[in-house]
Amino acid sequence: MQRRPRRNRKSEAVRNMVEETQVNVNDLIFPLFLIEGQTQKIEVASMPGIYRFSIDLMLKEIEECMNLGIMSFDVFPAYPESKKDKIASESYNPDTFYLKALREIKKNFPELCLMSDVAMDPYSSDGHDGLVKGGKILNDETLEILARMSLAQADAGVDILGPSDMMDGRVGYIRELLDENGFTETSIMSYTAKYASAFYGPFRDALDSAPKFGDKKTYQMNPANSQEALIEADLDLEEGADFLMVKPALSYLDVIKLLKDNYPLPIAAYNVSGEYSMIKAASERGWLDYNRSMNEVLLSIKRAGAKIILSYFAKDFAKLKK
């Protein structure tokens, strides 16, 4: 035998030397769920180990995570039904608890990187990411609402806006308005290729944000397609996005690779709620080893080409690395 690939696996020292990919805590963004009020911490039933926090306890959680080396957070608000309406007006109400919390987080931890979500669903009585009229999701009318929401979040001190709505033209629309208002330093991480996926189920439980009718297939992408990810990425690059995101991650590793090979921007991937919960559930039953599965999942996403990973595993991973 001339070639024996096993020689490069013969000891830990050799294996480590030839290892191509490593996940660092720096690569991770930790998504957090916010609720109104004080001293509240409620576990999400379908996401064991993940909580909805009131702002006071969220500040503590962030501090704990920062001590573990996590520097980036994406905060999602859970609104009661009574605060929702057709036009998501709560999303740009300057006194709303979400915007106040974002300000407070930035005030307490100016050095962290704070990300927010731009889409109507947490505030919409229809549970859709866009404006609904006659059973249809209106694109251009939605842009105006997204832009107002973006300005309010930028004004609250957010470092990176994450438009997750999948309306056409929103990155350019938001970019222009931000610049006109002096927010030239606020970044945009576009949800470039966001698929109409079953794996968002637990997230919609966490926020009570499931659509009240129909599904999201007229705006989120068909899981069968990868070519249109290239069109979305072209537009996002042209419209001024700073990062391109693929979501979910695990069933779309090929799409991550496709964007990584074709675009100069940093690629992010969202390791979504369902991907977290299935590993959590199987490991609670003793069917999978939690730490090893988590490591392998994060590694595979990075190996596919994502520099940045949004993941509910972030805190557990950081603890493991400590």
Active-site residue numbers? 194, 247
Site size with ligand PBG, rule: CB under 6 A: 11
Check binding of 79 to ligand PBG (CB under 6 A): no
Check binding of 236 to ligand PBG (CB under 6 A): no
**Is 43 labeled as ligand-binding?**
no
Q: How far is the CB of 2 from ligand PBG (least distance, A)?
A: 48
Cα–Cα distance between 304 and 255 in angstroms, integer?
A: 9
Choose which of 54, 91, 164, 311 interacts with ligand PBG (CB under 6 A): 164
Six token digits for residue 271: 């390791």
Q: How far is the CB of 33 from ligand PBG (least distance, A)?
A: 10
Per CB under 6 A, contacts with ligand PBG among 111-150 are 117, 119, 121, 129
Closest alpha carbon to 88 in 118, 117, 116, 120: 120
Candidate ranges 1-9, 199-207, 260-268, 298-306; the one touching ligand PBG (CB under 6 A): 199-207
Q: How far is the CB of 268 from ligand PBG (least distance, A)?
A: 13
Closer residue to ligand PBG (CB): 8 or 250 = 250
Cα dihedral across residues 256, 234, 237, 144: positive or negative: negative
Q: Please, which contacts does 57-62 make with residues 24 or more away whose CB atoms are closer than 8 Å?
A: 58/32, 58/34, 58/101, 58/105, 59/104, 59/105, 59/108, 61/32, 62/32, 62/105, 62/108, 62/109, 62/112
Closer residue to ligand PBG (CB): 32 or 99 = 32
Cα–Cα distance between 248 and 275 in angstroms, integer?
A: 8
Closer residue to ligand PBG (CB): 142 or 186 = 142
Contact flags string 261-280 toward ligand PBG, x per CB under 6 A: -----------xx-------
The residues, ordered by sequence, that sit 6+ positions from 183 with a Cβ below 8 Å of its Cβ are 151, 154, 155
Q: How far is the CB of 296 from ligand PBG (least distance, A)?
A: 19
Closest alpha carbon to 312 in 297, 161, 260, 322: 297
Closest alpha carbon to 101 in 72, 75, 79, 64: 75
Candidate ranges 56-64, 200-208, 223-231, 250-258; the one touching ligand PBG (CB under 6 A): 200-208
- Neighbouring CB atoms inside 10 A of 76's CB total 22
Candidate ranges 85-93, 179-187, 197-205, 226-234; the one touching ligand PBG (CB under 6 A): 197-205
Check binding of 200 to ligand PBG (CB under 6 A): yes
- Going by their DSSP bridges, the two strands 187-194 and 243-247 should be labelled as parallel
- Give the DSSP letter string of 60-76: HHHHHHHHTT--EEEEE
DSSP state of 4: -
| Nearest residue (beta carbon) to ligand PBG | 203
- The residues of the shown chain that bind ligand PBG, judged by CB under 6 A, are 117, 119, 121, 129, 164-165, 200, 203-204, 272-273
Which residues are known binding-site members? 232
Binding residues for Mg(2+): 232
